[in-house]
Amino acid sequence: MLVVISPAKTLDYDTPAVTKTHSIPDYLDDSAELIAELRQLSPPEVSGLMSVSAKLGDLNFGRYLNWQPEFSFKNAKQSLLAFKGDVYTGLDAESLSEEQLQWAQNHLRILSGLYGLLRPLDLMQPYRLEMGTKLSNSRGKDLYAFWGDKITDGLNKELKAESSQVLINLASNEYFKSVKPRSLNAEVITPVFKDWKNDKYKIISFYAKKARGLMSRYIIENSIEDPEQLKQFDVAGYRYNSAMSSAREWVFTREALE
């Protein structure tokens, strides 16, 4: 069983990594090509492209200029430990054991606009480049065109290596659009998290993101290989709701916030 999640906009390169174990991303030639495209932009153009403030535009312009093809602990950090945000709050990677981090390395993948596909222990230099960014490039009009089949092919390679035929999609719609399910050699199961509000169950973005992280952690902690075991997920008040679920979309509901 392979699990995919989204990255985060917020990064932490100040807190020391809890492990020295690391790997190098597989698609650095592609990342370098994107960096070359991004370096052609001015700080105001970066701000406009990403719809962010001038301050954030300047920050990311500097990140692109400082990006190097050689990765070390001086300029990079393991992706699972560098990303912050709601998903990663739920996942709480810093408290995972070395053994659990290694299990995650074999079963969890992070979809990335700049790096394509990241393993948890892949070193990553700081960046911001959301998958939905309409960056015109040598391969097309946006990042979906840039990555083409590469991410799907990469996942197929990982699935084959793990002798797995199931992919658990805990990524956002924006990021999972970089995957082509029809070309994927696996059954895709997408957990959905809904909270009771105003007399109905609905997806509340903040809680849903954190729940994806909580489920990722649950999978890692329990070394889950059989997707049916996910129906036992019982964290932060969420329960599997068979009545609202379908074969490919498994809904987990919560009556009240915990």
Overall average pLDDT of the 155-169 stretch: 93
Overall average pLDDT of the 181-188 stretch: 96
In a domain, 117, yes or no: yes
Residue 162: what pLDDT? 85
Number of domains in the chain: 1
In a domain, 96, yes or no: yes
- State percent of the chain over pLDDT 70: 99
Residue 191 per-residue DSSP state: E
Overall average pLDDT of the 229-253 stretch: 97
In a domain, 60, yes or no: no
256/227 Cα distance (integer angstroms): 26
Q: Note whether 120 and 80 are within 8 A (CB).
A: yes
pLDDT, tens digit, 9 for 90 and up, residues 70-90: 999 999 999 999 999 999 999
In this model, does residue 155 exceed pLDDT 60? yes
In this model, does residue 258 exceed pLDDT 70? no
Residue 185: HSE in the Cβ half-sphere, 13 Å Cα cutoff? 12
In a domain, 62, yes or no: no
In a domain, 215, yes or no: yes
Average of per-residue pLDDT values in the chain: 96
- State percent of the chain over pLDDT 90: 96
Q: How far apart are the first and last CA of the chain?
A: 29
Listing DSSP states for 76-132 in one string gives -EEHHHHB-SHHHHHH-GGGS-HHHHHHHHHHEEEEETTTEEE-TTBEE------TT
Residue 86: what pLDDT? 96
Residue 227: what pLDDT? 96
In this model, does residue 163 exceed pLDDT 90? no
Overall average pLDDT of the 152-165 stretch: 93
Residue 198: what pLDDT? 87
Residue 55: what pLDDT? 97
pLDDT, tens digit, 9 for 90 and up, residues 191-240: 999 999 988 999 999 999 999 999 999 999 999 999 999 999 999 999 99
Total residue length of the chain? 258
Q: What is the domain range of residue 109? A: 2-10+78-125+138-254
Residue 68 per-residue DSSP state: -
**Closest by CA position to 71, among listed 35, 107, 108, 113:** 35
Return the CATH number at 120: 3.40.50
Output the six-digit token pair for 193.
């998290």
In this model, does residue 148 exceed pLDDT 90? yes
pLDDT, tens digit, 9 for 90 and up, residues 91-124: 999 999 999 999 999 999 999 999 999 999 999 9
Which residues on neighbouring strands pair with residue 253, listed in sequence order? 194, 239
Q: Note whether 145 and 192 are within 8 A (CB).
A: no
In a domain, 227, yes or no: yes
Overall average pLDDT of the 141-160 stretch: 97
In a domain, 44, yes or no: no
In this model, does residue 135 exceed pLDDT 90? yes
| pTM (predicted TM-score) | 0.96
In a domain, 37, yes or no: no
pLDDT, tens digit, 9 for 90 and up, residues 50-66: 999 999 999 999 999 99
